[in-house]
Structure 1
Amino acid sequence: MTKPTLLPFERILTVPESNLIKRSILTAMEVFERWGYNYIKLPAFDHYEVHVKALGSKSSGTIVFKDTQEGELIGLRSDFTTQVVRSVSFFKVWHFPLRLYYFGTLFSSENNTWERFQVGLELIGVKNVEGDAEVISATAEYIKTLGIKGVVATIGHVNIVRKLLENLKDELRDEVREAFRERNLSLLREIFDNGLISRLPLIQGKEEALRVLSELGLEEERVELEELGRHLEEAGIDFIYDLSEVRDFPYYTGVVFEFFHPNIGSPIAGGGRYDTLSQAYGESFPATGGSVYIDKLLPLLKPKPEEKDFFVIDLSHKKKFGFKVASLLRSKGYKVGRDIVRRALEHSLDYAFSEGYKKVVVVTDEKDVKVYTTVKDYYLVSLEEFLKLV
């Protein structure tokens, strides 16, 4: 029998990797709900035409198929933010602000692996900078709770580069925008005569960054970034300003952010403000949010064995007590496995402890059990007494 090969864009996750995904979900539930956010299950599909309107050029990787009933092109979700806004647009009643979090898989043919896993949160109906600070702070706490240290946030504003591009000739705008994106200092020096604008990608000092924005007449952006910086400093978040931030997603309208780790060559999280995205879905409300790219985080997370409580081995004559013992333990809330493979006791013990079971309960008869704490150490106790103890 020929074994099927992996698809070129496919990735198979191991059990330890899958457990890391599970940990990322459980941590998201713990942290984001602590901040007052509610879970939302998001749809996997969108009208492709609307998807293009919302995502612009970033919709190029959308996996598209035709609805056989209506003949309409449907897009498989490649962005969570658009799906949050789309879902909210169908809510019958809004109570702003809406605090929503999600987790799940994105699909895009732009990546080597067509599936990406993310968790994230969105704050809908809030226009002030304090809302941006909340999203960034909650994201930072999530990353910290996962046990990841040494992370730095970069804080920018998409209108800085957008406003600077308005002063250029049409034929130069795309070229300069790309130069900012790629940090092409030589081209920026050439276009801006080695002036202040050409140095924007190099400016990271907080005081200098704010001063430069004032010198460039970008007072609105300076005020927002200065206020945001105060909030983040109060929250104890390590950050720097990025005055040359360019984003591929067209829906960003203000403050944007990313989180970086020194061992990963690209952002591990990011997001920002998108006050006009709802217009693509026939509504009008401000919003800000952020996502954590779990696939990028996997190398930073230390696998932990999935601990289970009891593994039951039945050596009694009629082998009917092991099932009852396991059922009773489960009814008490314990995680319990039962040996259903015939093999030597030592092999069953090796299996149980290698699978993360804390204790192995060997039922010898209807009265007594042996409770193993290691493959060699055990104590003998009556079945009745053992069940009282647990």
Structure 2
Amino acid sequence: MKEGNGLQIPAGMRDLLPGVACDQRQLESRCTGLFTSWGYQEVITPTLEYLDAITIDTGEEIRDHLFQLFDRQGKILALRPEMTTPIARVVATRLRGAALPLRLCYAANVFRYEEPQAGRQREIAQAGVEMIGAATPLADAEVIALAVEAIKQSGLEDFQISLGQIEIFNGLMEELPLTVEQKSKVRTLVAKKDFVSLEELLNSYGITGAPADRILQLPTLHGGAEVLEQAAWLGVNDRARQGLENLRQVYQALASFGVSDFVALDLGVLRGFDYYTGIVFEGYTVGLGFPICGGGRYDNLLGQLGYPCPATGFALGLDRILLALARTNPPARATSAVYLIGGDDTAAMLNKATQLRSQGLSVEIDVLGRDEASLQAYAQTRGITQVQYCRQGG
């Protein structure tokens, strides 16, 4: 055995063994099939991008979680940490002028340098959609409804989408004499629902009374339509009032899609990327303390790339969904081969395998020349129930 890391893989990466790999491919296929049935077209972007291209308007937080390297010309490259910005680049450079709205989808791995733990790897399998060129509440509702449908088709039953509107928070921040850095710290604590630290931070900034109470109430506003009434007093300026009205319109549109039972309003949802400008949402399921999906509206990102255009979308964490499924309803995995063909008549064996494969069946042939008893024993260990032995002259 080699010494050192010769037989190891980097921390946060993992091998997908037979069974798990099949589960992930099947989930990926179901997602992309669903997306295309809603009119979305698949795009594939490079795993490596120039650093400047993938850090436009994503914020300092994501920069601290990038895998970076230099090419031989000294340019800084990075493994993509998410798919929204690469797809925005594609639209701004390759699909500029295409008829709008553009409905695009993807299935890809992204990379983030985070502390590895269950459900939080450094290589993350995702599938998602981006709708480019539509700024209406109905567009936001469509991508949220599609996220709900994708999670349902994965097999998860007990889940919820938490729906927020970041402009409500931004409107409240406009009223406060805080720096960009201070606002960012407030945002982080609101998103974490860390009430004690949030109150201490506001006090240290001299924010008290009604302005502090409004911010402290944000993480507590969670539920159904009643949240809109409870949040009315947060409309301290046009920005916050418009955010509240937009949230109401999207929530009503989701009722038309028939997915209201899976959606709860949550004004503490703010997401982690700076490019979000309106509706934001995250999906959660029982047994996992982190989201299985997330997304929202990002109307300014394409403008940063020279192509001003509204947009909205989401990403599903395929590996997180599989982890949740394994905890709630462990899959009964079958072998990839449903037939096993063996025998001492090679021609007959190969002909039979070809015939069965032409019917869409998965067939494994015996290449070790085993007798019928050994073949049956092998099939039993693999979970193969259909076995055929081809004898010469038979």
**TM-score category of the 2 structures, normalised to the smaller one:** 0.7 to 0.9
2:350 corresponds to which residue? 323
In structure 2, the CA distance between the partners of 1:307 and 1:174, relative to structure 1 (3 Å rule), is: closer
Paired residues for 1:143-292 under 5 Å: 143-170=151-178, 172-186=182-196, 187-188=198-199, 190=203, 191-193=207-209, 195-217=213-235, 218-234=240-256, 235-237=258-260, 238-292=262-316
8 A contact 2:165–2:244 mirrored in 1: no
8 A contact 1:122–1:287 mirrored in 2: yes
Q: Percent identity?
A: 27
2:44 corresponds to which residue? 41
Q: 2: CA distance between counterparts of 1:32 and 1:88?
A: 18
Paired residues for 1:311-350 under 5 Å: 311-316=340-345, 319-350=346-377
8 A contact 2:343–2:372 mirrored in 1: no
In structure 2, the CA distance between the partners of 1:40 and 1:174, relative to structure 1 (3 Å rule), is: closer
Which secondary structure state, in structure 1, belongs to the residue aligned with residue 283 of structure 2?
A: strand
In structure 2, the CA distance between the partners of 1:31 and 1:63, relative to structure 1 (3 Å rule), is: same
Select between 268-277 and 1-10 the one with higher mean Cα deviation. Answer: 1-10
Residues 1:107 and 2:111 aligned together: yes
In structure 2, the CA distance between the partners of 1:267 and 1:21, relative to structure 1 (3 Å rule), is: same
Give the aligned length: 364
Q: 2: CA distance between counterparts of 1:331 and 1:4?
A: 40
Q: 2: CA distance between counterparts of 1:195 and 1:176?
A: 13
In structure 2, the CA distance between the partners of 1:178 and 1:300, relative to structure 1 (3 Å rule), is: closer
Residues 1:120 and 2:128 aligned together: yes
Residues 1:90 and 2:93 aligned together: yes
Which secondary structure state, in structure 2, belongs to the residue aligned with residue 105 of structure 1?
A: strand
Amino acid corresponding to residue 156 of structure 1 in structure 2: G
2:324 corresponds to which residue? 300
Select between 260-269 and 27-36 the one with higher mean Cα deviation. Answer: 27-36
Amino acid corresponding to residue 12 of structure 2 in structure 1: F
Task: Give 1:354 shift.
Answer: 4.3
In structure 2, the CA distance between the partners of 1:346 and 1:236, relative to structure 1 (3 Å rule), is: same
Query: Gaps spanning 5+ residues in structure 2: where?
Result: none
Which secondary structure state, in structure 1, belongs to the residue aligned with residue 109 of structure 2?
A: strand
Task: Give 1:227 shift.
Answer: 1.4
Q: 1: CA distance between counterparts of 2:351 and 2:188?
A: 68
8 A contact 2:168–2:241 mirrored in 1: no
Task: Give 1:291 shift.
Answer: 0.5
Residues 1:4 and 2:12 aligned together: no
Q: 1: CA distance between counterparts of 2:112 and 2:147?
A: 24
Query: Gaps spanning 5+ residues in structure 1: where?
Result: 369-390
Q: 1: CA distance between counterparts of 2:187 and 2:88?
A: 27
8 A contact 1:108–1:115 mirrored in 2: yes
User: What's the TM-score once normalised by structure 1's chain length?
Assistant: 0.86
Amino acid corresponding to residue 305 of structure 1 in structure 2: A
Q: 1: CA distance between counterparts of 2:94 and 2:41?
A: 14
Amino acid corresponding to residue 60 of structure 1 in structure 2: D
Task: Give 1:51 shift.
Answer: 2.2
8 A contact 2:225–2:265 mirrored in 1: no
Q: 2: CA distance between counterparts of 1:291 and 1:284?
A: 22
Select between 292-301 and 356-365 the one with higher mean Cα deviation. Answer: 356-365
Task: Give 1:67 shift.
Answer: 2.2
Amino acid corresponding to residue 232 of structure 2 in structure 1: S
Kindly name which structure, 1 or 2, has the bigger radius of gyration based on alpha carbons.
1
Please tell me the root mean square deviation across aligned C-alpha atoms, in Å. 2.1
Q: Deviations over 1:329-379 (max 9, x none)?
A: 32343322101113342332233354354521211234x4xxxxxxxxxxx
